Structure 1
Amino acid sequence: MSEIVYPPVIKAAQGVFKALDIKFRLEGTERIPRTGGAVLVSNHISYLDFIFAGLAAHPSGRLVRFMAKKEIFDHRIGGPLMRGMHHIPVDRQAGAASFKAALTALKGGEVVGVFAEATISRSFTVKDIKNGAVRMAVAGDVPLIPLTLWGPQRLWTKGRPRKLLQRGVPVTILVGEPMYPKRGDDYDKATRDLRGQLSELLEKAQREYPELPKTGQEWWQPAYLGGSAPTPEEAEALDLKELERRKSDRDA
């Protein structure tokens, strides 16, 4: 597969990270295989997560093909970049085609990136997830690798203004132990186990994060750690309200 676009995009991103003095902490990157397919499952806290999650695979020399909503591929600038990096569009009205494309990539030895929560978590905890990632790993006979991010929400997340030029923000990237679900397993149980791993990794990243919010900046800290982010219940209500608004807009 031709890689004309992806490497220059990575180089450009690394240049920006250096200019902004982003302080990275990466752990467990050796758990991402150097060859063969794998499903990399990340939590979702910002609009920049695919950039940072992809960094976890660089020490293994891998490029991650992320599954992303179709609307990004329709964008006049983002679309050509996404297609050039061979990411996988997800049309929620035609999920089978997206699954098939991801499976083809896995069987071709690619690492496929998945945000199993589907949307950004406003509470900065791991939302309920469906069993699609587990089914994908089983169908492709590849490992399922959990990954968590913490810090990117400070740069750009749902409901907050962008602060892309903020300097010196620490970003934590933790890769967990691979899971190996097999055909015949209870996929819902495997999904609960996956969510449990993601939650444990995320709590570790949050509790060990080198900075605390300054006064007036508590919004980026989860409620259970004393921050002012919505609780999971409040976040769910906000998501439902947004979903209803979008449906109303489409109907109109």
Structure 2
Amino acid sequence: MAEVVYPPVIVALKTFWKYLGLQFTFTGEAHIPRKGGAILAMNHIGYLDFALIGTAALPANRLVRFMAKKEIFDNKLAGPLMRGMHHINVDRNNGSASFVAALRALRSGEIVGIFPEGTISKSFEIKDLKSGAVRLAMGSNVPVIPAVIWGSQRIWTKGVKRDLRRKNVPIYVTFGEPLHFEKGSDVESGEKILREKLIALLHEVQESYPDSHIGQRWAPLRLGGTAPAPLN
């Protein structure tokens, strides 16, 4: 498909990241297939996660088609950009349409980005997962690439005023080894495997993160931070 909108948006985002002074550490890019369909199943801790993870996938020469809520597509400014980049509209009142659109994209060889938690985790821990990523993998016979991001919540997240000042925040993104879910296998077991992998990757990233978590609003209670307690 023609890529008219995505390239200039990438240039704009890279300029924005430079303005913010973000310090990127990307690992595991080799796990992203250079061709063919795949699902990126990601944790969700901030409003910029999709753009940051999309940036991390660029060294693999892949453009990610993110599944995003309908409200973003309805926005007068963001909507045309989302459609121009061929992202996938998720209408929670008509989930089957977005599922079919994602299946079509995967079968045509695209990488589809999904936040299986469904919404931002206010505790910054991995919440319970919805079944969409595993069911899509089974229906399209493509791998699921678990991915975690850490640091984006320090810029803009739910319940906290956004801070777009330049302050050299470290942003870590890591991609895990592909997971394969055969058609007809147990969906709940697949969700459990995916969640355990996301948790393990998140803990690895947090352990290597250069800034202290103790006493920070952007850090989970488990690490001595003051974020809200997990709800599950």
Per-residue deviation at 1:184? 2.1
- In structure 2, distance between residues paired with 1:9 and 1:164: 18
Q: Which amino acid aligns with 2:230?
A: P
CA deviations on 1:72-129 (whole Å, 9 max, x unpaired) are 0000101011011100000011000000000000011000000001110000000000
Per-residue CA deviation, residues 37-69 of structure 1 (Å, 9 max, x unaligned), is 001010000000100111232111000000000
The one-letter code of the counterpart of 1:208 is S
Query: Where has structure 1 moved over 3 Å in runs of 4 or more?
Result: none
Q: Distance in 1 between matches of 2:218 and 2:197?
A: 22
Q: Match of 2:140, as an amino acid? A: G
* Same amino acid, percent of matched pairs: 53
* Matched residue, 2:152: 152
Q: Provide Cα deviations, 1:1-24, integer angstroms capped at 9, x if missing partner.
A: 111110111111111212322111
CA distance in structure 2 between the aligned counterparts of 1:141 and 1:60, rounded to whole angstroms: 21
- 3-state SS of the aligned residue for 2:217? helix
Offset, 1:213: 4.8
- 2:107–2:140: 8 Å Cα contact kept in structure 1? yes
TM-score, normalised via structure 2 length = 0.97
* Structure 2 gap segments, 5+ residues each: none
SS at match of 1:96: helix
Q: Which amino acid aligns with 2:122?
A: R
Amino acid in structure 1 at the alignment position of 2:148: T
State the distance in 2 between where 1:70 and 1:17 align. Answer: 26
Q: How far 1:212 moved relative to its partner?
A: 1.5
TM-score by length of 1: 0.90
Consecutive unaligned residues of structure 1, counting only runs of 5 or more, are: 237-252
Trace 1:112-123 onto structure 2 (pairs within 5 A).
112-123=112-123
The one of 201, 217, 220 aligned to 1:219: 217
Higher fraction of helix: 1
Note if 1:12 corresponds to 2:5: no
- Bigger Cα Rg: 1
CA distance in 2, matches of 1:117, 1:148: 12
Whether 2:187 is the aligned partner of 1:184: answer: no
Partner of 1:131: 131
Q: Distance in 2 between matches of 1:165 and 1:51?
A: 18
| CA 1:128–1:41: 2 relative to 1, 3 Å | same
Superposition pairs for residues 1-252 of structure 1, below 5 Å? 1-213=1-213, 218-233=216-231
1:165 Cα deviation (Å)? 2.4
Aligned residues: 232
User: Deviation string for 1:168-206 (max 9, x for gaps)?
Assistant: 000000101100100121111011000001011111111
